[in-house]
Chain A
Amino acid sequence: MKLHRILALLTRHLYLYRRSLPRIMEIFYWPFLDLVIWGFITLYLGRAGGHLPGMVTFFLGALILWDMLFRSHQGITISFLEELWARNLMNLFASPLKPGEFLAATLLMSIFKVTCVSVVMTLCAAAFYSYNLLQVGLWLIPFVFNLVLMGWAIGVFTTSLIMRFGQEAEVLAWSMVFLFQPISCVFYPMEVLPAWLRVLAMMNPAAHIFEGLRSVVSAGAAPAASLAWAFGLNGLLAAAVIAWFYQTFAYCKEQGLLVRVGE
């Protein structure tokens, strides 16, 4: 891995934000809008007689954390799509750039997006709803780390699919992560799921993170078991999708898809 190549690619993506309003909106406006809508829903539920302990923390906290997962996924998939739309993949992969360096650059881009979105949402939540995400305490660090890791894993998987199937799979760059939302137990506990869906949720690292968040908020309990599950499952998921990415990359080179994708 050569750092100068990773940074070159990262710079290329950061340049895009200097003169693109839609891309800036993606980081600032849409997360803000999400927060406003869910904030009002939370207030309404609270006034309508909701008696859940820490309701605001549940909903707004969960929303901000879910958005971190979503943006980390999008940071990877959109970076790949940018190259596809610009018909730049040939320029990149005919250069000394390695697939691993390409991935590393998209991961850094994803960190940039997650950081921007998190700061925007956290500040807005504090300003409009007097909600402080940091009240979750130090547990927030492993929670966020695991959510970002899962977002990367889904992002790399989705990128492989777009590379393999071309622009007809483009919509997955935005939608893939939502396939995981029902079994991520973002806004409700795992126990409300039917038994068969609970089995799927148990295999989803995000579900353990949100369960952990609830146990911290409602009971102040240390979510060690939830975190252990999340770390373990994320490790397996990451290993599987990286292997899948390299396999797909080799297949695309074999089939000549790398030079046709985006046409």
Chain B
Amino acid sequence: MVTPVLQVTNLRKRFGDFTAVDDISFSMKPGEILGLLGPNGAGKTTTIHMLLGLITPTAGTIRMFGLDLREHRETILSQVNFSSTYISMPQSLTVEENLWIVARLYGLAEIARRVDLVLEQLEIADLRHKVTRHLSSGQLTRVTLAKALLTEPKILFLDEPTASLDPDIAQKIRSLLKEARRSSGVSILYTSHNMREMEEMSDRIIFLQRGRIVAEGTAREIVARFGQADLEEVFLKLARESRHRT
């Protein structure tokens, strides 16, 4: 049996009376792309923040590479990285300077080679000397992805990574991520509101609604279980149910 790279057990997060994440358990295998799906407020981002050690869980355990995140934060986070539409990079620094800082923060060797490689991979080598403040939102998204891939992580958390990209670049990013998975065996936890992207990217999908896991399986299994035409229909059904209850 393959040991999971990520094991989440009975994870819960409460903010006062509000339960953002409610007793969820799941795991991720090496090299797996796991989609985390759900309407706004379902608990996807809070879950990712807990996995990154940015929010302390109210209950439950998070283990990565067989280690408990609370006790082995430094070891785990040096092998993990993330990208999100909702983060930025220091605006007054150039793209290259930002990537060098990240590389030094993670203690990477051969920084120049890695920076060159990741800039080429994401087709942003021409932005190397551009001050981050002057990037478009699509360019900034690619730079934050470059930051995430630069450290060659074993687990990558991606929170809506293609949200601000045009279809052509988004497709290239998806291909790049699949290639990264194939070549380095990186495991990816992925959130997106683009259902076709979810179906294309994910080996397995976890559907969150109001902090709870309401469905888990391949896209086809989930569609069949809810008796809908496609994943988008499932999403709409659950999102509307969720809003009616609120």
Contacts and interface: CB of A to CB of B under 8 A. Distances in A.
Indicate the member of A15, A85, A97, A250 with the most B CB atoms within 10 Å: A15
B214 interface: no
A97 B88 contact: no
B25 interface: no
How many A residues are at the interface, by size bracket? 20 to 34
Contact of B53 (A4, A88, A91, A94): A94
A95 B104 CA distance: 11
B128 interface: no
Contacts of A247: none
A130 interface: no
Interface in B50-101: 52-56, 73-75, 77-78, 80-82, 84, 87-93, 97, 100-101
A90 B93 contact: no
Interface in B86-121: 87-93, 97, 100-102, 104-107
A96 interface: yes
Interface in A76-101: 82-83, 85-88, 90-98
How many B residues are at the interface, by size bracket? 35 or more
A11 B105 CA distance: 10
Interface of B is mostly: mixed
A148 to B, nearest CB: 26
A93 B53 contact: yes
B88 A86 contact: yes
Given A87-B87, A88-B88, A256-B15, A7 B104 contact: yes
B204 interface: no
B105 A250 contact: no
30 contacts: A5-B104, A7-B104, A8-B101, A11-B104, A12-B93, A15-B90, A15-B92, A83-B90, A86-B89, A86-B90, A88-B88, A90-B84, A91-B89, A91-B147, A93-B53, A93-B54, A94-B52, A94-B53, A94-B54, A94-B82, A95-B78, A96-B73, A96-B78, A96-B106, A250-B56, A253-B55, A256-B49, A256-B55, A259-B49, A259-B55
Interface of A: 2, 4-5, 7-9, 11-12, 15-16, 19-20, 82-83, 85-88, 90-98, 250, 253-256, 258-259
Q: Which 8 A-B pairs have the closest CB atoms?
A: A8-B104, A94-B52, A87-B88, A86-B90, A8-B105, A96-B78, A253-B56, A12-B101
Given A11-B100, A250-B56, 19 more contacts: A4-B105, A5-B105, A8-B105, A11-B101, A12-B90, A16-B92, A19-B92, A20-B92, A83-B90, A86-B89, A91-B147, A93-B54, A94-B52, A94-B54, A97-B105, A98-B74, A254-B55, A254-B56, A256-B46
